[in-house]
Amino acid sequence: MTPQEPSADTRRRARPPVDPRLLRYSPTTQRYVLVTAVFAIAEVIAIIVAAAMAASILSELIVLPDLRSFDAQWAHLAVLIAAMAARAGMAYGHDRYAHRAAQQAIAELRAEALDVLTDPRRTSPRTLLTLLREQAATVLLRGLDALGPYLSGYLPALVTAVILTPTVTVVIAFADWPSALIILITLPLIPIFMILVGLMTRDRTSRKLATMSRLTAQLLDLIAGLPTLRALNRAEAPTAQVAELGESHRRSTMSSLRVAFLSGAVLELLATLCVALVAVGIGLRLVFGEMSLYAGVFALILAPEAYLPLRRVGAQFHNSTDGLTAAGQVLELIDSPKGSATMPVTGGRGVTVAGAPITILDLGVHGRDGWAPESLRATIQPGSLTLFTGPNGSGKSTTLAAIMGLLAPDDGSVLIGSIPVDHADPESLHEQIAWLPQQPVVVPGTVGENVELFGVLDRDAAERAAVASGFDSVVLELPKRLDTRLGAGGVGLSAGQRQRLALTRVLASPAPLLLLDEPTAHLDEDSERAVLTALRERARAGDTVVVVAHRGVAREFADQVVEFDGGVPCATTH
């Protein structure tokens, strides 16, 4: 079972209309429910007052000819207008507050979930990478937005139904108990049909979210691997798979929408027939003189109001399934037990990377496509340039993450000297590593600040690094050279320029361990040779250099090659 696909037990488990954890983790939702209850009480009062005034006016105009003047009815009219205006004003004010509260509640849940994802005491690095790659990216970015209609539409309708429907039914009972009896008999039909629709909708909603998660994961993988795919002239290969996932998402979404529209029509028809039954009963009793005109009009006006909240709940029911499905997954993430991490946060052993060999002992990481790598054994000596090469998905980048301690392996271990990486102090270890990922990071600030992000050996070293990576020519084209600001309010860099900046940052760094993932993906062959020459010089100076590359030119500069061929990786020494 993949992380994004809910289990059968999860799909079948009854989901409450309001998850208590939602109130616990979102203070805004607590306040919102209280405010909604206050608005519902005020709305009940306004409805009853308006119905009483309308019934008084109609009955007096028809039954009492002496009271057919404006002077006799102005007080009733004034109260009626005030009640209707109050109801309209409360509806407007509540809608404005509802949308703001919904967005704030979503922000609170998103922040809480991100805190869990970034807290090693709650989520291990391995779990973190899996969640971000699969389910969390979808749920936190797009899926959690479905909670907005649930909070602003379904939840107010539910609270109003709990308060307004029983109150209105009791008031009708005092005026005309047969009408109240009809309402009590027919009212449960709407929740019963909602439950039947919900059983049919729940699995469709879960499938839609799972399909969206797979599509998002596929697109993220494609975007992350575009430089490599372009380098291998394979950029068009995933097109069919992405199109198939998109079509699957379209089918699941349309299936959910069909159920939503049909369920809304069924509930509207049912509520209309129930009100018609009440109206027929009142009409017959009025014809036979078994009730007063005031009581009949009063009950007839209030009868639709008894069904209205449930009709609103039915209309918003589809929003509730989408929102609760996404919120349920986020809340399960927030509720994940502490202590699942296999690596310490602080207090680990200090480790010295300079001059220490890196030993990889039977390293294995199990991903969604199997083991990558599996049973990897290699020793990376200081003062050497080691090349990781092999097909995509064979575990090269994963091995770099395990060396840095960003990922807890499922099997085996990584030693720096005699100290396992998972026992080392992360902060001390990371200060001694210069890392170049496949997608280089540019932080907001000047070009010079970005170059010095990992520190700089000296000015001459920075200049040599810029020449080797070709970034010196990029700097000459910038308006303020090294003082040019990047990011918001500054200039942007192309993918190739970002790659050259990141290479300069790594080559100029004083870190004794250099880890580079596809460092020459955006460079021409001459620039690639210049960069590899600079990396070999760093290795000859005593530093440990590990390079992930596909193109064969890197083999000419490597002291050791570790082949990832889909089976057991093997190391060869040049």
Q: Could you read off the pLDDT of 524-559 as tens digits, one per residue?
A: 778 788 888 888 888 888 888 888 887 777 788 888
Helix axes 239-287, 317-334, angle to 10 degrees: 130
Cα angle value 260/266/268 (rounded, 5°): 100
| Other CB atoms within 10 Å distance of the CB of residue 438 | 17
| The three-state (H, E, C) secondary structure of 423-437, written as one string | HECHHHHHCCEEEEC
**Residue 124, pLDDT above cutoff 70:** no
Confidence at 322, pLDDT banded by 50, 70, 90? low
pLDDT given for residue 345 in this prediction: 42
User: C-alpha 124: how far from its chain's center?
Assistant: 19
Q: Assess whether pLDDT exceeds 60 at residue 343.
A: no
Res. 266 pLDDT band, cuts 50 70 90: confident
pLDDT at position 541, please?
A: 84
Most confident of 58-67, 230-239, 287-296: 287-296
Tell me what pLDDT residue 299 has.
Answer: 87
Quote the pLDDT of residue 380: 87
Instruction: Examine the pLDDT at 122 and tell me if it is beyond 60.
Output: no
What percent of the chain clears pLDDT 70, i.e. is strictly above it?
73
For residues 543 and 509, the answer to whether their CB atoms sit within 8 Å is no
Rounded to an integer, what distance in angstroms lies between the CA atom of residue 550 and that of residue 526? 16
Average pLDDT over every residue of 362-380: 79
What pLDDT was estimated at residue 151?
80
pLDDT value of position 451: 76
- Give the range with max mean pLDDT: 168-172, 209-213, 475-479: 168-172
pLDDT interval class at 435 (50, 70, 90) = confident
Q: What angle do CA 63, 68, 74 make, to 5 degrees?
A: 120
Q: What is the pLDDT of residue 341?
A: 40
Out of 75-79, 281-285, 409-413, 483-487, pick the least confident. Answer: 483-487
Q: What is the pLDDT of residue 453?
A: 72
- By the 10 Å C-beta count (0-12 exposed, 13-18 middle, 19+ buried), 525 is classed as exposed
Give the residue-averaged pLDDT of 461-477: 77
Judged against a pLDDT cut of 80, whether residue 457 lies above it is answered with: no
Q: Nearest to residue 535, comparing CAs of 556, 550, 562? A: 556
Its sign, for the CA torsion 487, 488, 492, 496, is positive
Is the pLDDT score of 156 beyond 60?
yes
d(CA 553, CA 557): 8
> Residues with Cβ < 8 Å from 85, sequence gap 6 or more?
none
Does residue 572 have a pLDDT over 60? no
Q: Residue 289, by phi and psi: left (phi above 0), alpha (psi -120 to 50) or beta?
A: left
Query: Quick one: pLDDT at residue 202?
Result: 62
Q: What is the pLDDT of residue 327?
A: 72
Residue 300 has pLDDT above 70, yes or no: yes
DSSP string computed for 120-164: TTTS-HHHHHHHHHTHHHHHHHTGGGGHHHIIIIIHHHHHHHHHH
CB burial of residue 9 (10 Å; 0-12, 13-18, 19+): exposed
Mean pLDDT of the chain: 75
Going along the chain from its start, the domains and CATH numbers come out as: 20-334 (1.20.1560.10), 358-573 (3.40.50.300)
**pLDDT band at 490, cuts 50/70/90?**
low
**Taking 60 as the threshold, does the pLDDT of residue 115 lie above it?**
yes
Query: What would the pLDDT profile of 8-32 be if each residue is shown by its tens digit?
Result: 344 444 456 677 777 777 888 888 8
Partners of 420 in the beta sheet? 415
